[in-house]
């Protein structure tokens, strides 16, 4: 596993981008909407890893609910894996609670994701990300 990114829940993406890009000086890779997860995200490169800012686009989005309960802040840590479905099966067999029964294909098919519930990980939502190659 490699650290893919750290996800930060924000109320206002544009405002947060101004801080991370213009004040901190991080390189903005892009801003995109991820409708499968009801979020808009901004991705910044930090060395070999990234920081992802997420704003919910609906009231029932996981990000909106998180901010309502806990305020802005670190929402998840994402690790890159080779085969998210196979790993999810292995982890389930070892007693971990996965959030999705099946992984989700997001960002126009470029990423397959699933999450390990914070109750399995001592309180941290852990995202598993497989980068899908279309070669």
Pure H helices in 74-119: 84-93
| Number of other CB atoms surrounding residue 91 within 10 Å | 17
**Smallest distance from the beta carbon of 48 to ligand CMX, in angstroms?**
19
Rounded to a whole number of angstroms, the minimum distance from the CB of residue 107 to ligand CMX is 8
Shortest distance in whole angstroms from residue 60 CB to ligand CMX: 10
Q: Which residues bind ligand CMX (CB under 6 A)?
A: 7, 34, 37, 39, 54, 62-63, 65-66, 69, 75-76, 99, 115, 117-118, 123-125, 127
Residue among 22 and 68 whose Cβ is closer to ligand CMX: 68
Decide: 129 and 81 in contact? Cβ < 8 Å.
Answer: yes
* Shortest CB 65 distance to ligand CMX, Å: 6
Nearer to ligand CMX, 21 or 34 (CB): 34
Residue closer to ligand CMX, measured from CB, 69 or 134: 69
Q: How far, in Å, CA of 52 to CA of 54, rounded?
A: 6
CB hemisphere CA count around 93 (13 angstroms):
6
Contact 9, 72 (CB under 8 A): yes
Residue number with CB closer to ligand CMX (47 or 123): 123
DSSP label of 132? P
């Amino acid at each position: 596993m490699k650290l893919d990114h750290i996800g930060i829940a924000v109320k206002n993406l544009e405002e947060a981008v101004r801080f991370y890009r213009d004040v901190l000086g991080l390189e903005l890779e892009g801003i995109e909407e991820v409708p499968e997860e009801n979020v808009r995200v901004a991705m910044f490169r930090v060395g070999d890893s990234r920081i992802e800012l997420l704003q919910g686009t609906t009231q029932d989005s996981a990000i909106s609910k998180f901010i309502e309960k806990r305020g802005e802040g670190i929402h998840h840590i994402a690790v890159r894996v080779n085969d998210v479905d196979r790993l999810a099966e292995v982890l389930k067999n070892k007693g971990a609670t996965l959030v999705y029964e099946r992984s989700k294909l997001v960002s126009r098919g470029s990423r397959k994701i699933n999450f390990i519930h914070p109750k399995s990980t001592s309180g941290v939502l852990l995202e598993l990300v497989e980068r899908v190659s279309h070669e």
